[in-house]
């Protein structure tokens, strides 16, 4: 994986080149309204590659760049996405017990980077994210991760519900970290293949994902504040997995 120097491509030709070259694209912003045939061809190719697309007013595009964007801007990724299937298969082939992080709408780039840094340090095999609603993995995320995103695979999945079901069918327990849980983290058996599910900074884990999880745990706390920063919660949860594995 390599750090890309350019975070955006703008204009139909530049975006077309990015699509044709195989560059990883986070998402594309399109200006509302009618466009020419080349523009439509570029959009069709982006959809064929399953790249998230948002149609927005021109003011939003102008906030990204005042240069001649021609109504289209592509946000380029600083990571090369990995296949979740391949990650799981490789773990089992090497005789390892998979350890994964699932992120449900972690939007703060500093939180994302901090989680990636901790995950890489503790030997997590991959981070799994939805294709929409998460922090953009540009240069800021790479910097916040202290370069960890160069080393830990990131899997971008179109449907996190399907991914959770796939993990469960692959023998991996999905454990949700949430203050809404009744069970305490240290009391949960975290041995064996595990995927820790972390939720949005705003409203936590989506109810649909909580229902699919094999277990839900909360971190014991005795202070007045009822919740932890999600990157801190991720570190504590991962450390508990490693502690149990090494006991």
> What does the block give as tokens for 59?
């003011």
Q: Which residues of the chain have pLDDT under 50?
A: 1-5
pLDDT value for 92: 96
pLDDT value for 8: 87
pLDDT value for 125: 97
**DSSP bridge partners of 183:** 217
Residue 230 to residue 196: CA distance in whole angstroms: 12
Residue 72 to residue 194: CA distance in whole angstroms: 40
Class of residue 121 by CB neighbours under 10 A (exposed 0-12, middle 13-18, buried 19+): middle
- Across 44-83, b (16+ Cβ under 10 Å) vs e yields eebeeeebbeeeeeeeebeeeeeeebbbbbbbbbbbebbe
By DSSP bridging, strand 194-198 and strand 173-177 are parallel
pLDDT value for 79: 82
Q: Phi/psi class of residue 171: alpha, beta or left (left: φ > 0; alpha: ψ in -120 to 50)?
A: left
pLDDT value for 2: 35
């Amino acid at each position: 994986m390599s750090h890309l120097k350019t975070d955006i491509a703008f204009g139909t030709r530049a975006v077309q080149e990015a699509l044709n070259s195989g560059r990883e694209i986070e998402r594309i912003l399109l200006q509302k309204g009618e466009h020419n045939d080349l523009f439509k061809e570029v959009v069709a190719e982006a959809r064929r590659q399953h790249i998230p697309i948002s149609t927005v007013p021109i003011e939003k595009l102008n906030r990204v760049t005042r240069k001649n964007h021609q109504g289209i801007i592509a946000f380029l990724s600083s990571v090369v996405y990995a296949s979740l299937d391949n990650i799981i298969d490789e773990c089992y082939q090497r005789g390892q017990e998979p350890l994964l992080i699932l992120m449900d709408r972690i939007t703060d780039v500093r939180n994302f980077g901090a989680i990636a840094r901790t995950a890489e340090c503790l030997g997590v095999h991959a981070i799994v994210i939805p294709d929409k609603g998460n922090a953009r993995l540009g240069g800021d995320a790479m910097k916040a991760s202290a370069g960890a995103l160069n080393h830990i695979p990131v899997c971008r999945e179109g449907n996190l519900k399907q991914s959770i079901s796939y993990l469960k069918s692959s023998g991996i327990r999905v454990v949700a970290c949430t203050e809404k849980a009744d069970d305490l983290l240290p009391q949960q058996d975290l041995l064996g293949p595990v995927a820790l599910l972390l939720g949005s900074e705003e409203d936590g884990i989506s109810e649909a994902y909580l229902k699919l999880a094999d277990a839900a745990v909360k971190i014991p706390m005795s202070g007045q504040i009822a919740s932890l920063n999600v990157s801190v919660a991720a570190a504590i949860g991962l450390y508990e997995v490693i502690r149990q594995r090494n006991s």
